[in-house]
């Protein structure tokens, strides 16, 4: 009898203990306590501004020529002024730096070039004091060839770590297929003399693949996640998710994926920290999205929308909006607690692999016509500002990105329209130091020696012309324009939370989207043409109410037929709230 009572008591306690965890997983309150979405703190990622930083290229605090955590902490007030909510940090663990830190040699340390564990802790404290969250890159699919695990694995077939990697006694038939970096890579299986066997590496040969069919490797990945959660991070950007969950011995052109691993990582993550997130890098087709997002509460919280990104650039290059509209519709249906991350450029090449060859060639012609601007037989290795035709098209592109369904993600330096250095190899072209001022080394570093990655000091995008200090003083600068549109975006939670639809625009060159959420409505209008356009649209919501411009002083009233008629300049854009401008109700 006592045992039964004790068991009942334990079960009751477990029910109450698990309820908060279930809320954190699903983001859905119990029916009797239905909260509005913005009240669920676990879904903070649905409406944030994310800023991507390469720590070694952002700010050098000690004059050694390398950016560091102290330098990043010094610039947090600048990022707060800009309106940043979340910092996404590139890898900062110890690394031989053969691939910008994505070749990790110790998952539990801080690269001494970037600072000490104390510097990291102080940075985290300073970021959290300003209300900023921190998401870090987590590179789980491979290690550096110099990682102690691999060094021990290659020494003996009886090593504990041998099965932590993927080996073959004979060279597999697929040894030169499935390369992530075609044109640069030569193989995906390489013979190791010391091991006397071939090892798998979907990426460079100095990045051997970890073997996730081994339960010990899965458990170690959880330890890594748990460790950094204890250091205060708020989530992880999972690098190359499809390759983590892929069976490396399957056909590289049609690989087998073990999606239950994503669910396992999510369960562990949220057991340790209920509102932490996984932001996945998975450049997949729309029909595969559901398997990565999973059902409510068991997949990746966020994914970058590579599919829409590629079609955005096609539309910017050609003014043909139909593929973009289809891409938006094709990626619409995701779980209510999931979210897309929208971006224009990131730390890699602009990947155009999901476009048709004809579409890709048109983007090349418009934005990367020279051979040295292209990379990996699929992409463009340029920064955004030099790619686009002028400031007006640059504003249009960013206005669109902030207005697309999801959460906006900005690459450091793009807020001041930085350029690229095509003399640098591969993706290093878009990883040059941040341009803070017109002083030595762009204000990035006081070092007297030559920097590992040089600043841009020639041409239209030289730091003497393009820098933060000058743009802060110029009310018409791109930096101030970006800060203003971020502020406007924060008045538009409908974009992160609401339903949306595409309205007929009366012009094939203009995209008109309407957002609806809790009785509030937005209409976002973007002209992809460099020519003026007459736009005519209506909906049940807009037919009877005014449109209040969020970006400039303007009120528009519908005509007698219920249509709104708007004349847009070339590359023009408008953000409208339907009804009273300040009638935000309880949506903030």
> What residues act catalytically?
239, 281
DSSP 8-state secondary structure symbol assigned to residue 442: G
CB-count exposure of residue 43 (10 Å: 0-12, 13-18, 19+) = buried
Cα(469)–Cα(466) distance, integer angstroms: 9
Beta bridge partners of 394: none
Separation between Cα atoms, residue 305 and residue 332, nearest integer Å: 11
Q: How many CA atoms lie within 13 A of 373 on its CB side?
A: 16
Residue 539 structure tokens? 């909906």
* The token pair that represents 581 in the structure block: 């401008």
CB 176 within 8 A of CB 186: yes
DSSP three-state, residue 410: strand
DSSP 8: H
3-state secondary structure 315-334: HHHHCCCHHHHHHHHHCCCC
3 state SS of 271: helix
Both tokens assigned to 315: 């539309």
Residue 343 φ then ψ, to 5°: -150, 165
In angstroms, the first-to-last Cα distance of the chain is: 53
Neighbours of 379 (CB within 10 A): 21
The CA–CA distances, whole Å, from 18 to 8, 11, 12, 22, 398 equal 15, 10, 10, 6, 42
Q: What is d(CA 342, CA 305) in angstroms, rounded to the nearest whole number?
A: 6
Packing angle, helices 357-367 and 306-318, rounded to 10: 60
DSSP collapsed to 3 states, 382-399: CCHHHHCCCHHHHHHHHH
Please provide residue 511's backbone torsions phi and psi, each rounded to the nearest 5 degrees: -105, 125
User: Three-class SS string for 414-437?
Assistant: HHHCCCCCCCCCHHHHHCCCCCCC
Phi-psi region of 68 (alpha: psi -120 to 50; beta: other; left: phi over 0): beta
């Amino acid at each position: 009898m006592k045992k039964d009572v004790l068991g009942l008591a334990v079960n009751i306690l477990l029910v109450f203990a698990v309820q908060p965890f279930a809320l954190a997983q699903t983001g859905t309150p119990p029916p009797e306590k239905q909260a509005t979405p913005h009240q669920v703190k676990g879904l903070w990622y649905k409406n944030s501004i994310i800023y991507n930083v390469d720590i070694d290229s952002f700010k050098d605090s000690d004059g050694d020529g390398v950016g560091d955590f102290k330098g990043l902490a010094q610039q947090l007030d600048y990022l707060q002024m800009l309106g940043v909510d979340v910092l996404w940090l590139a890898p900062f663990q110890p690394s031989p730096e053969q691939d910008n830190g994505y070749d990790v040699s110790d998952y539990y340390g801080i690269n001494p070039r970037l600072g000490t564990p104390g510097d990291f802790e102080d940075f985290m404290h300073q970021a959290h004091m300003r209300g900023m969250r921190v998401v870090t890159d987590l590179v789980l699919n491979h290690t550096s060839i110099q990682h102690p695990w691999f060094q021990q694995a290659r020494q003996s077939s009886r090593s504990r770590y041998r099965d932590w990697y993927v080996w073959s006694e004979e060279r597999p038939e697929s040894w030169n297929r499935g390369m992530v970096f075609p044109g640069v890579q030569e193989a995906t299986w390489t013979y190791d003399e010391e091991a006397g066997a071939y090892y798998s590496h979907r990426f460079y040969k100095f990045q051997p693949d970890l073997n996730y069919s081994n339960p010990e490797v899965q458990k170690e990945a959880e330890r890594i996640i748990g460790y950094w959660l204890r250091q205060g991070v708020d989530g992880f950007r999972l690098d190359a998710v499809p390759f983590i969950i892929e069976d490396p011995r399957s056909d590289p052109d049609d690989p087998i994926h073990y999606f239950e691993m994503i669910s396992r990582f999510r369960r562990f993550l949220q057991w340790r920290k209920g509102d932490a997130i996984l932001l996945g890098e998975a450049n997949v087709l729309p029909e595969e999205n559901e398997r990565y997002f999973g059902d409510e509460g068991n997949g990746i919280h966020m994914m970058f929308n590579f599919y829409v990104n590629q079609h955005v650039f096609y539309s910017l290059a050609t003014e043909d909006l139909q593929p973009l509209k289809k891409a938006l519709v094709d990626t619409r249906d995701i779980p209510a607690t999931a979210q897309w991350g929208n971006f224009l450029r990131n730390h890699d090449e602009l990947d155009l692999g999901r476009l048709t060859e004809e579409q890709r060639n048109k983007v090349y012609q418009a934005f990367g016509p020279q051979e040295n601007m292209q990379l990996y037989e699929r992409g463009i290795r340029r920064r955004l500002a030099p790619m686009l035709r002028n400031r007006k098209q640059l504003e249009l592109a960013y206005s669109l990105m902030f207005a697309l369904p999801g959460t906006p993600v900005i690459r450091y330096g793009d807020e001041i329209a930085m350029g690229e250095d095509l003399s640098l190899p591969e993706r290093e072209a878009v990883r040059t130091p941040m341009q803070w001022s017109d002083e030595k080394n762009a204000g990035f570093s006081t070092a007297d020696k030559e920097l590992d990655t040089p600043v841009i000091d020639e041409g239209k995008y030289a730091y003497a012309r393009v820098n933060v200090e000058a743009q802060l003083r110029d009310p018409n600068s791109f930096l101030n324009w970006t800060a203003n549109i971020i502020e406007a975006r924060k008045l538009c939670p409908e974009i992160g939370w609401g339903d949306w639809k595409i309205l007929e625009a009366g012009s094939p060159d203009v995209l008109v989207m309407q957002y609806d959420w809790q009785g509030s409505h937005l209409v976002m209008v973007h002209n992809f043409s460099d020519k003026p356009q007459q736009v005519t649209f209506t909906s049940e919501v807009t037919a009877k109410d005014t449109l209040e411009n969020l970006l400039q002083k303007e009120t528009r009233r519908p005509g007698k037929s219920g249509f709104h008629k708007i004349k847009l300049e070339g590359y023009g854009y408008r953000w409208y709230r339907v009804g009273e401008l300040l009638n935000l109700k309880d949506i903030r």
